[in-house]
Amino acid sequence: REAMPRNPLDEAPKYRSSGKIQSNLTMEQFVAMRKSIIAWGTAPRCRSDWARLLGMLDIVMGSSLRIGEVLALRPYDLDFSGKKPTIEVTGTIVEHAGKLVRQDVPKAPGQERIIPIPRPAARTLAALAARTDPNGLLFGTRSGEPDGNANRLLGAWKKSAEGQRWIRDTGIKPREVTFKLLRRTAATKTR
């Protein structure tokens, strides 16, 4: 009764799993990463942007946001009035006509959300909000434009002696040390 004489999937190509194991960080590895970034940024040559990188990492680990969503945060997206601080995710940074702009929806419509965040990430956000125009971006440039240097900044740390030492000590491949690694780690941890 209208049944197919054979299974069409029998002739479909077989796909093998890539066997790729997704890395995650332990809390000890993340703490060591933070210490490494602080050492890289403060001595002997002081890098002015190390604190920005540390702030981005803290927020990604505390919220599991995409890096574009972190870069799109504004002071009025934060709420410290309740028992638990929260972030309202209302946008992301995208490239449009060769220029970075804040898109007023996250990666896809319907992904707007309010996320509770741990106190350490809240302290980082509060410090950033205190020195940012209320309508500006927490991680914007001095002129208020979206900052596209998050990956460059992470890459600079990874190439430094401190970053290389951390990578060697953790055994994680350098190409896997990304904001997505932190997001994946945060998503797998219970709060």
pLDDT digits (tens, 9 = 90+) for 105-143: 888 778 889 999 988 888 888 888 888 888 889 988 887
Judge whether 156 and 97 are in contact, CB under 8 Å: no
Continuous segment of H or E residues that includes residue 100: strand 99-103
CA gap 55, 25 in Å, rounded: 17
Q: How far is CA 114 from CA 6, 8, 104, 138, 191, in A?
A: 50, 45, 15, 17, 15
> Which pTM was predicted?
0.81
| Percent of the chain at pLDDT exceeding 70 | 93
In this structure, are strands 92-96 and 99-103 parallel, antiparallel, or unpaired? Answer: antiparallel
pLDDT in tens, 62-111: 889 999 999 999 998 999 998 899 999 999 999 989 899 999 988 877 88
DSSP class of residue 20 equals P
Q: Residue 77 and residue 51: Cα distance in Å, rounded?
A: 21
